[in-house]
Amino acid sequence: MSLLSIAALLLGMASAVRAATVADAPPMVARIALDGAIGPATAEYVHDASRQAVAAGARAIVLQLDTPGGLAGSMREIIADMLASPVPVLVYVAPGGARAASAGTYILYAAQLAAMAPGTHLGAATPVSLGGGTPLPLPKATPVPAGAASSGSPSSLAGPGGDAETHKVLNDAIAYLRSLAQLRGRNAAWAEQAVRGAATLTATEAKQQRVIDLIATDLPDLLAQADGRTVRVGEREVTLHLRGATVRDFAPGARVRFLSVITDPTIAYLLLLAGIFGLLLEALHPGAMLPGIVGGICLLVAFYALQLLPVNYAGLALMALGIGLLVAEALTPTIGALGVGGVISFVLGSVMLMHSGTPGYAVNIGVIAGIAVAASLLLALLLWLVLAARRARRISGDDALRDAEGELLAALEPGAEGWARVLGERWRVRAEVALPAGAHVRVLRRNGLLLWVAPA
């Protein structure tokens, strides 16, 4: 009985020591670094990393942000994960020189605690049209003093000018950012100006106008300043205890890295072209196998990437038409009519293919120009070969014999027949003048199996 009591006492002491050790351990903060354009891969990375951080016992999540903007759909997915997070999410625009432009401004507004490093900026949150790179026409807004309330009514937001679709997109973006500002107690009036007028702020100006909460030189400084602050997570108030916390980085997994590569607009564009030309080579050379297999894989991967990207299907159709015209030119030469039309159609489609107004989501113009130049040179080479073939001497029939040179095998009297070797063949020949054996002759014409020749 005494042994059992001693064992129970020892187990209790061990549990108490373990609990005290865990209690004394510094809290862990998860850092998720978002660098570059916001896209499908970014949204999946934030979703997966946030779940892993919560499962690992993170007290808070820090989104370290440096982005020119990105896709609205991916931005909303990230914000939805932030709002649903069971732990506080701090957004930190860093390092110096970083920015939280366009979609980054929305993400910054959604954070429980927003911070920026010195030398950073945010803003320019104006939506852009799907058809190209020109920003939506912006109606004039009545200036609202910083910190003043704005009605946010449709009439005040719509303003004069533009069409219904423009106002719908613009007002939706304004309302979304204003709702985040009101949720976090930030400057809603400036949020409207960031969307309507593409306004921007430096870190110091953002702090003065209550757009952000802190200016921190680095992550430890951010955690020290955030310590003791109370933030709202869902329906509950949470006091942050982050001073001296350990920082653990959550890197993207293999799937996210692969997705980030193929959803790069230029990579997706090149995969699409590789797939199309691979299948064309297989069709022109049946049984080659490798072009068809590689082309099929590239085409399927490109289609997967394109359905995640803001693709303009008119541009895709123009590209397909251009490639079809170039193939038709190669198979049935038309002295450039189909080829020139194909190059023009292909270039226009390539430019229109992606939503070029979204920062970071446009096909590299240099790649398009390079492919267009290569297609033009190929077309020029094809036309040169066609014209050269038309000018080339025929190699069969009377045209091949005319002006061909040969050698007499025996002396030839005027009007008499003899034999000569012409183009490697023995022919009966006749001439109007006498010619010695071995003389070089030139064919004038053919009469049946008889050649009329003259001295060469």
pLDDT tens sequence across 82-91: 999 999 999 9
353 φ, ψ (degrees, to nearest 5): -60, -45
Cβ atoms of 361 and 39 closer than 8 Å: yes
pLDDT per position as a tens digit, 351-387? 888 765 666 677 888 888 888 888 788 878 877 877 7
Average pLDDT of the chain, as a whole number: 83
Cβ atoms of 98 and 124 closer than 8 Å: no
Closest C-alpha among 329, 380, 371 to residue 353:
371
Least confident of 70-79, 209-218, 346-355: 346-355
Would you call 396 helix, strand, or coil by DSSP?
Answer: coil
Query: Average of pLDDT values for 406-428?
Result: 89
The per-residue pLDDT for 55 is 94
Question: Please, what sign has the CA dihedral across residues 281, 286, 291, 294?
Answer: positive
Query: For 140, which DSSP code?
Result: P
Question: Between the CA atoms of 360, 361, 362 and 367, what dihedral angle is there, to the nearest 10 degrees?
Answer: 70
The per-residue pLDDT for 224 is 93
Most confident of the following: 107-121, 270-284, 396-410, 433-447: 107-121
pLDDT per position as a tens digit, 24-58? 568 899 999 999 889 899 999 999 999 999 999 99
261 φ, ψ (degrees, to nearest 5): -75, -50
- pLDDT over threshold 80, residue 135: no
- Listed in order, strand segments (DSSP E) in 67-182 are 89-93, 99-101, 113-116, 121-123
Least confident of 13-22, 237-246, 250-259, 351-360: 13-22
Matching residue, tokens 């036309």:
383
- pLDDT over threshold 90, residue 203: yes
Q: How far is CA 221 from CA 119, 203, 215, 237, 255, in A?
A: 16, 15, 9, 23, 33
The per-residue pLDDT for 144 is 44
| Cα 322 → chain centroid | 21
Q: For 109, how many CA atoms within 13 A lie in the half-sphere containing its CB?
A: 33
Instruction: Give the tokens for residue 184.
Output: 């976090």
- For residue 237, the cross-strand partners are 232
- pLDDT over threshold 50, residue 276: yes
Would you call 48 helix, strand, or coil by DSSP?
Answer: helix
Cis peptide before 95 (omega within 30 of 0): yes
The per-residue pLDDT for 151 is 41
pLDDT per position as a tens digit, 418-432? 999 988 889 999 998
- pLDDT over threshold 60, residue 150: no
The per-residue pLDDT for 7 is 60
- pLDDT over threshold 70, residue 222: yes
Query: Average of pLDDT values for 15-19?
Result: 48
Cβ atoms of 310 and 39 closer than 8 Å: no
Q: In what order do the strands lie in the sheet with 89-93?
A: 214-215, 113-116, 89-93, 60-66, 28-35, 246-249
pLDDT band at 414 (very low <50, low <70, confident <90, very high): confident
The per-residue pLDDT for 143 is 46
Matching residue, tokens 């807004």:
141
% of the chain with per-residue pLDDT over 90: 41
Query: Average of pLDDT values for 187-216?
Result: 93
Name which residue leads in pLDDT, 187 or 285.
Answer: 187
pLDDT per position as a tens digit, 160-174? 445 677 778 888 999
Cβ atoms of 342 and 326 closer than 8 Å: yes
CA–CA distance, 316 with 265 (Å, rounded to integer): 13
Domains along the chain with CATH numbers: 26-130+170-254 (3.90.226.10), 256-391 (no CATH), 397-455 (2.40.50.140)
How many Cβ atoms are within 10 Å of 1's Cβ, its own excluded? Answer: 5
The per-residue pLDDT for 72 is 87
How many Cβ atoms are within 10 Å of 390's Cβ, its own excluded? Answer: 8
Q: How far is CA 445 from CA 396, 404, 431, in A?
A: 14, 10, 11
The per-residue pLDDT for 202 is 95
- pLDDT over threshold 80, residue 155: no
Query: Average of pLDDT values for 172-191?
Result: 93
Would you call 93 helix, strand, or coil by DSSP?
Answer: strand
- pLDDT over threshold 60, residue 21: no
Query: Average of pLDDT values for 86-113?
Result: 94
CA–CA distance, 166 with 137 (Å, rounded to integer): 7
Least confident of 225-229, 385-389, 415-419: 385-389
- pLDDT over threshold 60, residue 293: yes
- pLDDT over threshold 70, residue 66: yes
Question: Please, what sign has the CA dihedral across residues 322, 326, 332, 336?
Answer: positive
Name which residue leads in pLDDT, 376 or 345.
Answer: 345
Instruction: Give the tokens for residue 167.
Output: 């106002």
How many Cβ atoms are within 10 Å of 235's Cβ, its own excluded? Answer: 5
Contacts of 436 (CB under 8 A, 6+ apart): 408, 411
The per-residue pLDDT for 158 is 40
Instruction: Give the tokens for residue 29.
Output: 């903060």
Most confident of the following: 13-17, 112-116, 171-175, 240-244: 112-116
- pLDDT over threshold 80, residue 233: yes
Instruction: Give the tokens for residue 76.
Output: 């909303």
% of the chain with per-residue pLDDT over 70: 83
| Cα 42 → chain centroid | 13
The per-residue pLDDT for 200 is 93
pLDDT band at 275 (very low <50, low <70, confident <90, very high): very high
Closest C-alpha among 79, 81, 133 to residue 108:
79
The per-residue pLDDT for 59 is 93
